Structure 1
Amino acid sequence: MTLTPELLLRGYTIGIFPMAEHRDDAEIFWVDPKRRGIMPLDGFHISRTLRRRLLRCGFTICIDTAFAAVVDGCADRAETWINAEIRRHYIALYEAGYAHSLEVWDGADLVGGVYGVTVGAAFFGESMFSRRTDASKIALAYLVDRLRQAGFQLFDTQFLTEHLASLGAVEIPRGDYHERLDQAIGQPANFSGPPVPSAQDVIQRNTQTS
């Protein structure tokens, strides 16, 4: 299969996403899980431990300042589905304004982050990484808050992991996912619009909605 940025976007709009078996495998295949992981934007769970980390970590949160580095951080593990072709096309989507990253910085060090693709009011989360305790959880807390403030309706996590479930993610049938997808992609949202909030604002808004 010849992958292009345009084909990637088309895939997301019909509910499928690409993967490779590992970083050195040139073959790419499409995935359409029978049960889909989503993060309800009004159901993110901030534990007492995460609340303390948000308030005391001293990290800086940025948007779209190091997209390629976030992708590389996500691929920097023993097993990854991010091969060179996938990396190249997601960077092209970022340059075209369809892919975005949220970065967690400890001074000059990139210590965590998450990236994904946007179509309409749907955010398709691709991957995240952490090089400090709870950095990926902090990234997700800021991401969920951003999606809510920016008018998004759907946060697709693809699969439900134990880590995501502990933060409030759930699994829904494929048919339900496609219904939510069809509704979300036709609505407007602006990922880059909201300013980066304080940790107190993230906690307060989440407490009000969860």
Structure 2
Amino acid sequence: MRRLPFLLPPDPAAPFPPGEQALREPDGLLAVGGDFRPERLLNAYRHGIFPWPSDGYPLLWWCPDPRTVFRTDAVRLASKFRRGLRRSDWVVRADTAFEQVIAACAQAPRPGQDGTWINDELREAYVGMHRLGHAHSIEVYDGTTLVGGLYGIAIGRMFFGESMYSARPGGSKVAIAALARHLHAWGWPLLDGQVENPHLLSLGAVSMPRTQFLAEVERLTALPGFAPAPWTAHFGDYPARALADPAVDDEPRAGA
């Protein structure tokens, strides 16, 4: 008899089942129902679980095995791309255009996908999480023009990436590389990429067994990080050309 995913009760404080109980087919489906209230979202991420809505279904919650992650000291940029960055005037900032970034991620075309999981309800919820200081955006600017970015959730010393986009070639690469460099400098070793795709793999993402990932999430989310608030001052104006040399000693300082 095929096992069904767990049905979440209405109480947003209700616990999720352990991630190890997620289905094998479809891989990682753990629970259905519930809502996007901040208490439930934070509870989910603290346990390595994320929402991934699908039209025509109740809200779906996932914990796939294996998990796609970045070691924050191991994001790769191709040498040709890095050479081009030496002449770049792009600047990377944080939390200056969250709503623009999540809207752009929702509109970005994705190979093999018809439409987007970033529906209006999800966008409203994550904008709310941003206003509470839990969700953050990383923006890449050419002058005053956004050319790429990403957004995600931060808890403790763990960053859970949600989506990224490029308005110009390489925009998302610069966003994730700059984020990883900051996270590494702050002592945050992992960046969650959720589910494998060729773009993430090309940037150095690796697969981690779910049991190991969940143990790391439990440890890292319990560590002291930044208080919930915008990261604009922590990030500063970070020049994309600083990413041209992976060995350069230009690590940002928290609070700088």
TM-score (norm 2): 0.75
Which one scores higher on RCO, CA 8 angstroms, separation ≥ 6? 1
Distance 1:57 1:26 in 2: 44
Q: Percent identity?
A: 36
Secondary structure in 2 matching 1:93: helix
Structure 1 contact 121–188 (Cα < 8 Å) conserved: yes
Counterpart in 2 of 1:173?
A: 209
Unaligned runs of 5+ in 2: 1-33, 110-114, 250-256
For the residue of structure 2 that corresponds to 1:56, the secondary structure is: coil
Q: Counterparts of 1:1-210 in structure 2 under 5 Å?
A: 1-22=34-55, 27-78=58-109, 79-190=115-226, 192=231, 193-204=234-245, 206-207=246-247
Instruction: Tell me if structure 1 keeps the 8 A contact 2:94–2:235.
Output: no
Residue 194 of structure 1: CA displacement? 4.2
Structure 1 spans left out of the alignment, 5+ residues: none
3-state SS in 2 of match to 1:20: coil
The question of whether the paired residues in 2 share the 8 Å contact of 1:41 and 1:154 is answered with yes
Higher alpha-carbon deviation: 191-200 or 57-66: 191-200
Q: Given that residues 39 and 169 in structure 1 are in contact (C-alpha distance below 8 angstroms), is that contact kept between their aligned partners in structure 2?
A: yes
| Distance in 2 separating the partners of 1:27 and 1:56 | 48
Cα-to-partner distance string for 1:113-151 (whole Å, 9 max, x where unaligned): 010000000000000000101111111111111111222
Say which structure is richer in helix. Answer: 1
Are 1:36 and 1:172, in contact at CA under 8 Å, matched by a contact in 2?
A: yes
* Alpha carbons 2:137, 2:152 under 8 Å: kept: yes
Q: CA RMSD in A?
A: 1.9
Mean CA deviation greater in 115-124 or 132-141:
132-141
Taking the aligned partners of 2:118 and 2:176, their CA distance within structure 1 comes to: 20
How many residues of Structure 1 are paired with residues of Structure 2 in the alignment? 206
Q: Which amino acid aligns with 2:81?
A: L
Q: Render the CA deviation track for 1:129-183: whole Å, top value 9, x for unaligned.
A: 0010111111111111111122213211101211111111101111010011111
- Partner amino acid, structure 2, of 1:128: M
